[in-house]
Amino acid sequence: MSGRYTERATAWSGALVWTWHGPRGPERPVLPDGCMDLVWTAGRLLVAGPDTHAVRVTDTGDGLRAGIRFAPGTAPALLGVPACELRDRRVTLDTVWRGAEVRRLTERIAEAGDPAAALEGVVRSRAAGTDPPDPLMVSVAARLERGHSVAATARAAGLGARQLHRRSLTAFGYGPKTLARILRLQRALALVRAGTPYAEAAHAAGCTDQAHLAREVRDLTGTTLGGYLAGLGQEAPGASGAPGALGAKSDTAQPSGSRTTA
């Protein structure tokens, strides 16, 4: 039995609000994407930190899950902790914020008719009393997402290699080379999902060749390109680039820290 996934943009620093209605279904690996999430699930508030590899999340209960997905570099200012402290972790929100505040927010969301809207209200209220995300690091993430090299990005930001690395740990949870690698993988997988042949997707995303992409997929996701598509209900693209049987994104169990599941 499938569920329904939805997402929409918010006005806050490129964040997305997502919901998942229905059963989670079989355990799926959640792929790294540079994002962090504030998640409402099973009556609890959780923070999903930035991942460096695929993470298997077990959650087979029915019901509604909701969350706010923060673009790379935007969550630390709101949460009040460096992203590197949450790298490869899922923690309850009271690990980050005061317990009394988290209990109050948990009660408010539990009583709300729309948990996603209530979560969005939490973010708006919190953002009003905190500094905005570091604009320089948001710009760094945007350049890396467009495929610019780390060296060129550092020059554009006016930062030395060590400065960029140090600030990246705070903003993204890891260094700029790791973020660039993760974002390159996401570009490649988006092309593959659209039916682009593997070799073309590898070149367009910035990999040296198809073998390079295959290694990156295995290292970061723990599966193969064919296994990734099979998990989405798709067939490998043929020579013409025509996609196989598409698995609708809305039927893919998403949330727990990544916009993409294998």
Hey, what amino acid is at 122?
V
pLDDT of residue 22: 73
Q: How far apart are CA 145 and CA 63, in angstroms?
A: 34
pLDDT of residue 234: 85
pLDDT of residue 52: 96
pLDDT of residue 59: 58
CB neighbour list of residue 70: distance below 8 Å, 6 or more residues apart: 13, 15, 35, 36, 37, 38, 78
Instruction: Provide the whole-model pTM.
Output: 0.87
pLDDT of residue 239: 39
Do residues 30 and 46 make contact, with C-beta atoms less than 8 angstroms apart? no
Residue 96 half-sphere exposure toward CB, CA atoms < 13 A = 23
Tens of pLDDT along the chain (262 residues) come to: 467 889 999 878 889 999 988 765 556 678 999 999 999 998 999 999 999 999 887 654 557 889 999 999 999 999 999 999 999 999 999 999 999 999 999 999 999 989 999 999 999 999 999 999 999 999 999 999 999 999 999 999 999 999 999 999 999 999 999 999 999 999 999 999 999 999 999 999 999 999 999 999 999 999 999 999 988 888 888 534 443 332 223 333 344 445 554 4
pLDDT of residue 138: 97
Angle in degrees, CA 229, 233, 237, rounded to 5: 50
pLDDT of residue 5: 85
Closest CA to 31 of 259, 249, 236, 206: 259
Beta bridge partner(s), residue 45: 40
Q: How far apart are CA 249 and CA 20, in angstroms?
A: 11
Angle in degrees, CA 5, 11, 16, rounded to 5: 25
